[in-house]
């Protein structure tokens, strides 16, 4: 499990090194598959690169607050952050609410939304406000 030291500097980037490494994976996947593949194709290739780099992950992890809800995070990386994959023209506000809910349920600090449909990949970092 990744840890970050809690310092007085609140501008510290959460999971800086891990985020940077994941960003590299996202860009490699986007370069290889382009903009018009299916979400599961992006997920399969991300999984391949995670294995290659030895990064621990869980794919399509069920996250539940009540036991009856069926929320699935695309990836939980190193029991530290959530990755949500999207393949649509634009990220909408519901995508932010979804990942914030997942972060709260899983009690994790950081989520990353990656929309592979965009011409230029721009992963969005979402912080769990409970921290």
Which domain covers residue 82, as residue numbers?
Answer: 16-127
Residue 4 lies in a domain: no
Residue 86 lies in a domain: yes
Residue 7 lies in a domain: no
Q: What's the pLDDT at 11?
A: 73
104 burial level (CB within 10 Å; 0-12, 13-18, 19+)? middle
The CATH number assigned to the domain holding 109 equals 3.90.320.10
Residue 3 lies in a domain: no
Residue 9 lies in a domain: no
When divided into structural domains, the chain yields a total of 1
Residue 64 lies in a domain: yes
Contact 56, 78 (CB under 8 A): yes
State pLDDT tens for residues 23-66.
Answer: 999 999 999 999 999 999 999 999 999 999 999 999 999 998 77
């Amino acid at each position: 499990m990744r840890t970050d030291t809690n310092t007085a500097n609140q501008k510290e980037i959460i999971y800086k090194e891990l985020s940077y490494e994941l960003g590299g994976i996202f860009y490699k996947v986007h370069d290889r598959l382009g903009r018009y593949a299916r979400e599961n194709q992006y997920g399969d290739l991300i999984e391949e690169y995670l294995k290659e780099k030895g990064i621990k992950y869980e794919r399509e992890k069920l996250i539940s607050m009540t036991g009856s809800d069926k929320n699935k995070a695309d990836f939980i990386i190193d029991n530290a952050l959530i990755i949500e994959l999207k393949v649509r023209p634009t990220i909408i506000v519901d995508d932010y609410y979804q990942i914030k809910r997942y972060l709260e349920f899983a009690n994790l600090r950081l989520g990353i939304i990656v929309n592979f449909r965009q011409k230029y990949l721009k992963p969005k970092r979402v912080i769990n406000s409970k921290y």
